[in-house]
Amino acid sequence: MKALKTSLTLQLAAIIVIIAGVMTARSLILPVTLAMFISIICTQPILWLEKKKIPFSLAILIVLVSVGLILFLFGGIIGNSISAFMKDAPKYEDNLRQMLMSIIDDLNNTGANINRRQLLDLIDPGKILSFTTRALSEVGRIMSDSFLILLITIFMLLETKTFINKTRLVEKIHGNSLKHLDRIGKSIRHYLSIKTVISLFTGLFIWIWLLMVGVEYAILWGVIAFFLNYIPSIGSIIAAIPTVLLALLQLGVGGMIWTGIGYLLVNVVMGSVIEPRVMGKGLGLSTLVVFLSLIIWGYIFGTVGMFLSVPLTITIKIMLEQNERTQWIAILLGTGDETIEILKEQ
């Protein structure tokens, strides 16, 4: 019993040291991690093009150029829209502050004793309106290393076939099965491909809805909805808050209500109805684990960690399943259905 406690203490200490080391080397690890996920996503279309008799190197070039053009398009839209929005942001902040002060005065006239300064400090309009732009700015800062990320991705993709042959040789010589690596790749591709399609339609529908309602910078809020939809649980909420506030300032209560209804409908239909159906058996992670992973990876890697929280947690779970001494952790990370299936097999 004492040895078990010592072992657990050492494992926890090792985890803390690893997390501290990862946070220290974040500027180096993040580009490599992003390049790894990009290469995993790109592998499938590259292999598909190769089956169409296109040379492997040319297939890599075609896919990377396509991805680059898409990122360039999004970057242009985001850059121009954020630049225009930031010029008008002080005006919106002043309007929101005046609206809050008017509400506080009305409440105080009815007998409430609200400290105007403390409440305005607590609910800072500038922070509310600029949160999503700061989040995208951090993503943009990481993507400023795009040349380094591109180089790492190219070398990873060029090594794809060699890596497959290496894993086969290791399995043949040492008898160690490395099929879990293929499973990690398939799981990440499955999740990210479906999440990308769902996010794309979410951003498209939000853009169209806001155009119909008449909210300014509709395309910016559509792109923000697309990107933040990758953040599980809270991403769609974060995307909706500044847009609803802007609609209130620009169009009044009616515009705010219609904007909120649009976000609610789109996110319920896409996130709660369509996504679970097309995702199949799901992520293999409990809802609590998904939310906690969002907090933990966000703490370690910042905003980018929140975007990558689910793929990173899926990878760790599959790796933990390969060792008998760590399988219990993988079980705790899994869903209730997985637990029932394991109990039936016992």
CA distance 151 to 158: 11
CA distance 157 to 266: 36
Higher pLDDT, 173 or 226: 226
Nearest Cα residue to 270 out of 305, 226, 314, 309:
226
CA distance 264 to 304: 25
Among 62-71, 72-81, 278-287, 318-327, where is mean pLDDT lowest?
278-287
* pLDDT of 70 strictly over 60: yes
CA distance 89 to 91: 5
Burial profile 16-34: b = 16 or more Cβ within 10 angstroms, e = fewer: eeeeeebeeebeeebbebb
What's the pLDDT at 69? 82
Tokens 């609803």 sit on residue: 244
Q: What is the pLDDT of residues 150-168, one digit of tens each?
A: 788 888 888 877 777 777 7
CA distance 265 to 286: 25
Nearest Cα residue to 189 out of 274, 279, 277:
279
Higher pLDDT, 145 or 186: 186
Confidence band of 307 (pLDDT split at 50, 70, 90): confident
Query: Span 97-110, mean pLDDT?
Result: 72
Q: What Å distances lie between residue 228 and 124, 202, 225, CA to CA?
A: 22, 10, 5
Mean predicted lDDT score pLDDT of the chain: 77
> What angle separates helix 26-51 from helix 56-109, to the nearest 10 degrees?
130
Cα of first residue to Cα of last residue in the chain, in angstroms, is 25
Highest averaged pLDDT of the listed ranges 23-37, 84-98, 106-120: 23-37
Query: Span 292-316, mean pLDDT?
Result: 84
Tokens 């999740």 sit on residue: 191
Among 16-25, 42-51, 204-213, 286-295, where is mean pLDDT lowest?
16-25
The structure's pTM equals 0.76
Nearest Cα residue to 187 out of 60, 319, 61, 98:
319
> What angle separates helix 56-109 from helix 125-143, to the nearest 10 degrees?
170
Q: What is the pLDDT of residues 195-247, one digit of tens each?
A: 888 888 999 999 999 999 988 888 888 888 888 888 887 888 888 888 888 88
CB-CB contact of 202 with 270 (8 Å)? yes
Higher pLDDT, 166 or 52: 52
What's the pLDDT at 344? 62
Higher pLDDT, 199 or 79: 199
What's the pLDDT at 113? 65
Instruction: Rounding to the nearest 10 degrees, give the CA dihedral for residues 311, 315, 318, 319.
Output: -170
CA distance 325 to 329: 9
Q: What is the pLDDT of residues 254-296, one digit of tens each?
A: 888 999 999 999 988 888 788 877 765 556 777 788 888 888 8
